[in-house]
Amino acid sequence: MRSSLRALLFQIFFWSWSILLNLIWLPALLMPRRAVVLGMEIWAGVSFWGLKHIVGLDYEVRGRENVPQGPAIYAAKHLSMWETIAQHVLLKDPAIVMKRELLKVPVYGWYAQKNEMIVIDRFGHASALREMIKAAKDRLLAGRPVVIFPEGTRKLPGEAADYKPGVAALYVALDVPCIPIALNSGLYWPRKGTWPKAGRIVVEFLPAIPPGMKRQNFMTELECQLEGATKRLLVEGGFKPLAV
């Protein structure tokens, strides 16, 4: 079957499945939060089943030994829609930092709010950072991993890094390890241009950055680790960076 037809069939499957589950699961909004968490886990698992069996897109996880037992921040590279789904498979009950505008998405916004994701107003400046930190502390105390995309939006493979201050604010305030997550998902389900295609996404948990570093030193270390590992995984997947 041609890859374009597989991609089309997956899009039909994915959006039909997502809409159906969102509607069926509406009563969970009146139940304890755990019911919504279960719904998100089911949605992610079935979506990954569709990627594997319709498109032929599977994934591999490396560095599981770097995932700590205790509280931590997970700073993930963001190249694709894939990792927004993957967090519900890779981590248990993640509290994901997300922009406030997503709460306006019909139905999805209700689930995100019920699930107590960490919402940030990108135009709120210092007050927005304080609210984000307070929410993140609450989620850590509840035993949930905190996940942030340091650049705030999806990037194209090889695009210049643009790290925002939110990840450093969390690192300094929470005083817990930060685990960078590198991946090459943008090769197979890019931000723009094409639908998902067959292959194997590699996601890698990198060694933890211990708490206590100065803000600028932390940002330098995070960017160095995350960009270096992401470039390595992209090249491993066949990406050829443009010569400088």
CA 40/CA 92 separation, integer angstroms: 11
pLDDT tens for each residue of 112-122 = 999 999 998 77
**Whose CA is closest to 2, among 58, 59, 56, 82?**
56
Q: How much is the pLDDT for 193?
A: 60
Residue 227: CB partners within 8 Å, gap ≥ 6?
161
Q: Does 129 score more than 60 pLDDT? A: yes
CA 82/CA 170 separation, integer angstroms: 24
Whether 187 contacts 83, CB under 8 Å: no
Q: How much is the pLDDT for 104?
A: 85
For residue 180, give Cα distances in angstroms to 167, 172, 204. 11, 15, 8
Over residues 203-223, mean pLDDT: 97
Domains and CATH numbers, the chain: 58-236 (3.40.50)
**Whose CA is closest to 107, among 45, 12, 33, 28?**
28
Q: How confident is the model at residue 194 (pLDDT cuts 50, 70, 90)?
A: low
Q: How much is the pLDDT for 244?
A: 44
Burial class from Cβ neighbours inside 10 Å (0-12, 13-18, 19+) for residue 160 reads: exposed
Backbone angles phi, psi at 37, to 5 degrees: -60, -45
Amino acid present at 92: K
